């Protein structure tokens, strides 16, 4: 339904053509069936699938989530059906939609990442890979791949070498200098970066003196992290030339616009989906409305327009 009044929303993320910059964040939208009753998936810019590993993963024992001030902690433990079951059981359903399907992948070793990337290469219906480098590297004592520039470089490079798909590297905020990791993965061949993953946190039940999460620590998401995410996205956009995808506490179009203005080419909606299954649609319509109101005919005239006095 293109008309003269509808502003140009399409963006290019390192070779992945999106009809608009609104994506679902990995792990917050299942495999599509969960939210199909609530939204028209065809209207999304991209659908990022729940993180896939080589083998299925059971995930962590409960409790897995706890609400915190303006957000939530989760320790789901990367539960997923594994790459093979995804291709066989879930991808056919997602392929039925007119939406770019991006598969998020992760591993415990670099070899795991390579295997998953190889498995997905050439599979019809996949537009790109998002490489989650926030998980612990078992061969390096559990230090996250994305916490160490050398490992971040190596995993990016090796995944890039085994895939023809554009790769987006998803960065962890739990680092001293996220721009350094961003530069390194760009150098290693990343076609785009997405940030931020959740911030590591914890919460304690003072009645029982136990942590609320079985895993003790978990990932903080929601509006509580948005200012941190926005700052990091702004910093990274000034340091790299590849597209940056903004993630972190985006609840509405206003939040999404902030990310676009500081330089994000696209944005992902995560935790907001849990509160409002229509959050992606509301954000999309809100961005369009803002553009029409402000006479912006193309989204590129909005991206990176931050004015600093």
Partner 1 sequence: MTNTIKESKKSIVTARIVDHYEVARNHFLMSLKVPSYFQAAVPGQFVMMRVKGREDPFLPRPFSINFLNSHNTGTIMGILYKVIGKGTTIFSRLKKDDELSVMGPLGNGFNMPPDRKKIALVAGGVGVAPLSFLAEYLKRQTNASAQGIEEIVCFLGASTSQLLLDRGRLADACSKLMISTDDGSDGYHGTVTELFQNHIDSYTDNDSIVFCCGPDPMMTGVAGIVKKYSIPCQVSMEERMACGVGACLGCAVRVKSHGDRPRYMTVCKDGPVFDSKDIIWKQA
Q: Does 79 bind partner 1 (CB under 8 A)?
A: yes
Q: Does 27 bind partner 1 (CB under 8 A)?
A: yes
Only one of the segments 90-98, 124-132, 147-155, 165-173 lies at the binding site for partner 1 (rule: CB under 8 A); that segment is: 90-98
Q: Does 273 bind partner 1 (CB under 8 A)?
A: yes
Q: Does 17 bind partner 1 (CB under 8 A)?
A: no
- Between residues 14 and 59, which has the closer beta carbon with respect to partner 1? 59
Residue matched to tokens 């136990």 = 210
Q: Among 8, 14, 59, 304, which residue sits at the site for partner 1 (rule: CB under 8 A)?
A: 59
Could you tell me if 221 and 72 are in contact, meaning their C-beta atoms sit under 8 angstroms apart?
A: yes
Q: At a CB cut-off of 8 Å and minimum separation 6, what does 121 contact?
A: 162, 163, 164, 165
| x-or-dash string of contact with partner 1, 179-218, rule CB under 8 A | ----------------------------------------
Q: Give the number of other CB atoms < 10 A from CB of residue 174.
A: 17
Which stretches within 173-278 are classed as H helix? 178-187, 226-237, 253-262, 272-275
Q: Does 174 bind partner 1 (CB under 8 A)?
A: no
- Between residues 27 and 246, which has the closer beta carbon with respect to partner 1? 27
Q: Does 76 bind partner 1 (CB under 8 A)?
A: yes
Closest C-alpha to 57, from 135, 143, 133, 120:
135
CA distance 190 to 243: 10
Question: Catalytic: which of 16, 87, 114, 135?
Answer: 135
Q: Does 106 bind partner 1 (CB under 8 A)?
A: no
Shortest approach of partner 1 to residue 40 CB, angstroms?
5
Could you tell me if 304 and 14 are in contact, meaning their C-beta atoms sit under 8 angstroms apart?
A: no
| Segments of the chain assigned E as strands | 11-13, 16-18, 22-24, 46-52, 65-68, 71-74, 100-105, 128-132, 167-170, 192-195, 199-202, 204-205, 210-211, 217-221, 244-247, 266-269
Could you give phi then psi for residue 130, rounded to 5 degrees? -110, 120
Q: Does 62 bind partner 1 (CB under 8 A)?
A: yes
Is 130 among the catalytic positions?
A: no
Helix (H, G, I), strand (E, B) or coil at 242: coil
- Between residues 24 and 265, which has the closer beta carbon with respect to partner 1? 24
Q: Does 89 bind partner 1 (CB under 8 A)?
A: no
- Between residues 14 and 63, which has the closer beta carbon with respect to partner 1? 63
Strands 204-205 and 46-52: unpaired
Q: Does 29 bind partner 1 (CB under 8 A)?
A: yes
- Among all residues, which ones are annotated catalytic? 135
Q: Residues interacting with partner 1, by CB under 8 A?
A: 27-30, 34-42, 56, 58-72, 74, 76, 79, 93, 96-98, 222-223, 271, 273-278
């Amino acid at each position: 339904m293109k008309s003269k009044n509808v502003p140009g929303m399409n963006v290019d993320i390192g070779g992945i053509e999106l009809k608009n910059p609104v994506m679902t964040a990995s792990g917050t939208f299942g495999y599509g069936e969960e939210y199909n009753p609530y939204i028209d998936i065809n209207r999304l810019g991209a659908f990022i699938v729940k993180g896939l590993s080589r083998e299925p993963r059971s995930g962590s024992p409960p409790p897995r989530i706890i609400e915190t001030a303006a957000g939530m902690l989760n320790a789901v433990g990367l539960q997923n059906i594994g790459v093979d079951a995804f291709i066989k059981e879930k991808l056919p359903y997602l392929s039925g939609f007119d939406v770019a399907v991006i598969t998020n992948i992760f591993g415990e070793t670099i070899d795991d990442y390579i295997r998953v990337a190889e498995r997905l290469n050439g599979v019809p219906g996949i537009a790109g890979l998002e490489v989650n480098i926030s998980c612990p590297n078992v061969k390096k004592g559990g230090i996250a791949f994305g916490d160490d520039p050398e490992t971040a470089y190596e995993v990016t490079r090796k995944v890039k070498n085994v895939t023809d798909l554009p790769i987006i590297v998803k960065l962890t905020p739990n680092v001293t200098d996220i721009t350094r990791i961003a530069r390194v993965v760009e150098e290693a061949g990343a076609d785009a970066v997405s940030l931020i993953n959740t911030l590591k946190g914890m919460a304690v039940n003072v009645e029982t003196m136990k942590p609320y999460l079985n895993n003790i620590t978990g990932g903080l998401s929601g509006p509580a992290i948005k200012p941190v995410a926005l700052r990091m996205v702004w910093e990274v956009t000034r340091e790299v030339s590849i597209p940056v995808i903004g993630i972190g506490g985006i609840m509405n179009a206003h939040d999404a616009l902030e990310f676009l203005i500081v330089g994000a080419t696209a944005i992902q909606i995560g935790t907001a989906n849990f509160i409002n299954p229509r959050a992606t649609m509301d954000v999309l319509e809100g961005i369009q409305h803002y553009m029409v109101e402000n006479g912006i005919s193309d989204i590129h005239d909005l991206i990176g327009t931050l004015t600093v006095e």
